[in-house]
């Protein structure tokens, strides 16, 4: 259940292994916000293996590098090699893509597979299980109730998952930081920031990421800054003047870029430990419902995509469903916790104050582009067990 990036990839991976899948989605329309997504080689490899490589290559960009700068000084701190360096080192590209383009590619692929039945406009409101299978209760917007039965249920209903509590009752924790997202036409950006690269600007308590998406026509902007309250609403409109005030000290080209969007959407950042366990009996959690990842490592969707590949592999071995799902949960446990921890640590490093940031900048500067990439070999070099 849930036709986000995780649910759609899981449906494709399971159907590729010969399973019949019913994908249940609460929304009626698949309008993704105008924002971008980074797809690192650990995820792009899985999607390419599902036959989506050509479509993704047409829609995605492949920036040559990440240029890391001081938010206020504008001084270059370090560089991470992407583009060809990533492909040659990890055998798969580091793509950046418009979320809507990725969603469309996944959805078109799912619609083209006879083994996948897509039920939209139905929220899963109940789930019960016995020795033989699972029974789901579905409710449409008009209040109509339906039931569906299956051998197993994959819960991929996102960070605010209603059904995760069946396996793990720990609550979401507000981070009191928010990610503001916007897009601007590339030709409107300051010339220094129009290049084919990802920009990462670090300052105390704040950072900004930008990269070109939509065939290079648009620049995707993400600015993370402190917030007081924390909103339940995911992607609420934000007041551009608040954003500009929070980044008033930004270096001139960054300030000019941040001044361009007329509208911003705001995501209050939340965290929660990975579910223990990620699966029990005939129910498995997948993606953000199992393990939300703070956006400081760009790995939330990537992990959901990895989950999908591992789940399909675990279910291919002919074991009884509960044993296969237990194998999936065991395979994922350490990796998802490690990545969650790295994302938290990156957040602390990105937003560090004077002392720690001086040490951070010195290390990044000394390492150089290739070694900065190599530090993440454990992350980007990942392959599902049993893959070539």
Ligand X SMILES: Cc1cc2nc3c(=O)[nH]c(=O)nc-3n(C[C@H](O)[C@H](O)[C@H](O)COP(=O)(O)OP(=O)(O)OC[C@H]3O[C@@H](n4cnc5c(N)ncnc54)[C@H](O)[C@@H]3O)c2cc1C
CA dist 292 → 42, 120, 281, 286, 363 (Å): 17, 24, 22, 10, 29
Indicate which residue of 211, 328, 350, 380 is catalytic.
Answer: 211
Sites for ligand X among residues 118-147 (CB under 6 A): 123-124
Question: Count residues contacting ligand X (CB under 6 A)?
Answer: 32
Cα-based angle 138, 140, 143 (whole degrees, multiple of 5)? 105
59 binds ligand X (CB under 6 A): no
Cα-based angle 386, 6, 114 (whole degrees, multiple of 5)? 80
7 binds ligand X (CB under 6 A): yes
287 binds ligand X (CB under 6 A): yes
Residue 62 near residue 83 (C-beta atoms within 8 A): yes
Per CB under 6 A, the list member of 61, 78, 93, 158 interacting with ligand X is 158
CB of 57 to ligand X, least distance (A): 18
CB of 357 to ligand X, least distance (A): 22
285 binds ligand X (CB under 6 A): no
Per CB under 6 A, the list member of 48, 214, 302, 343 interacting with ligand X is 302
211 classed as catalytic: yes
Q: Which residue has its beta carbon closest to ligand X? A: 4
Per CB under 6 A, the list member of 19, 22, 27, 174 interacting with ligand X is 27
Measured between its terminal Cα atoms, the distance across the chain in Å is: 29
Strand runs labelled E in the chain: 21-25, 36-39, 65-70, 76-81, 95-98, 116-120, 122-130, 133-140, 145-150, 153-155, 173-185, 198-203, 206-213, 218-226, 236-238, 264-271, 279-280, 283-285
Q: Retrieve residue 367's tokens.
A: 């390492």
CB of 302 to ligand X, least distance (A): 4
CB of 299 to ligand X, least distance (A): 5
Which window, 19-27, 51-59, 243-251, 363-371, contacts ligand X (CB under 6 A)?
Answer: 19-27
d(CA 83, CA 94): 6
Per CB under 6 A, the list member of 301, 311, 329, 343 interacting with ligand X is 301
Q: Retrieve residue 202's tokens.
A: 């670090």
Interface residues with ligand X (CB under 6 A) are 1-7, 24-27, 37-38, 123-124, 156-158, 162, 179, 181, 222, 267, 287-288, 295, 298-302, 304
């Amino acid at each position: 259940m849930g036709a986000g990036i995780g649910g759609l990839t899981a449906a494709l991976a399971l159907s590729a292994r010969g399973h019949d899948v019913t994908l249940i989605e609460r929304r009626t329309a698949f309008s993704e916000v105008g924002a971008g997504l980074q797809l690192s080689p650990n995820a792009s490899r899985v999607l390419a293996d599902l036959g989506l490589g050509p479509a993704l290559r047409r829609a995605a960009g492949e920036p040559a590098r990440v240029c890391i700068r001081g938010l206020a000084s504008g001084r270059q701190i370090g560089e991470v090699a992407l583009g060809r360096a990533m492909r040659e080192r990890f055998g798969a590209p580091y793509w950046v893509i418009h979320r809507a383009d990725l969603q469309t590619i996944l959805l078109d692929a799912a619609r083209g597979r006879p083994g996948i039945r897509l039920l939209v406009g139905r929220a899963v409101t109940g789930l019960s299980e016995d020795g033989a299978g699972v029974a789901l209760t579905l409710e449409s917007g008009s209040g109509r109730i339906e039931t569906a039965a299956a051998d197993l249920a994959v819960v991929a209903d996102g960070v605010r998952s209603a059904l995760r509590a069946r396996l793990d009752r720990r609550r979401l924790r507000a981070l009191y930081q928010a990610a503001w997202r916007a897009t601007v036409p590339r030709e409107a950006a300051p010339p220094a920031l129009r290049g084919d690269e990802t920009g990462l600007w670090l300052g105390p308590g704040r950072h900004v990421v930008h990269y070109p998406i939509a065939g290079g026509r648009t620049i995707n902007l993400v600015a993370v800054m402190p917030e007081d309250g924390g909103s339940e609403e995911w992607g609420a409109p934000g007041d551009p003047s608040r954003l500009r005030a929070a980044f008033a000290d930004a270096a001139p080209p960054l300030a000019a870029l941040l001044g361009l969007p007329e509208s911003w959407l705001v995501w209050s950042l939340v965290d929660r430990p990975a579910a223990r366990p990620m699966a029990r009996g005939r129910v498995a959690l997948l993606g953000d419902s199992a393990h939300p990842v703070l956006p400081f490592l760009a790995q939330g969707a990537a992990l959901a995509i990895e989950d999908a590949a591992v789940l399909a592999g675990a279910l291919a071995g002919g074991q009884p469903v509960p044993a296969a799902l237990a194998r999936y949960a065991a395979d994922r446990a350490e990796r998802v916790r490690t990545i969650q921890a790295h994302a938290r640590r990156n957040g602390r490093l990105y937003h560090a104050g004077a002392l720690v940031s001086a040490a951070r900048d010195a290390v990044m500067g000394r390492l150089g582009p290739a070694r900065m990439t190599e530090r993440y070999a454990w992350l980007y070099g990942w392959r599902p067990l049993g893959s070539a």
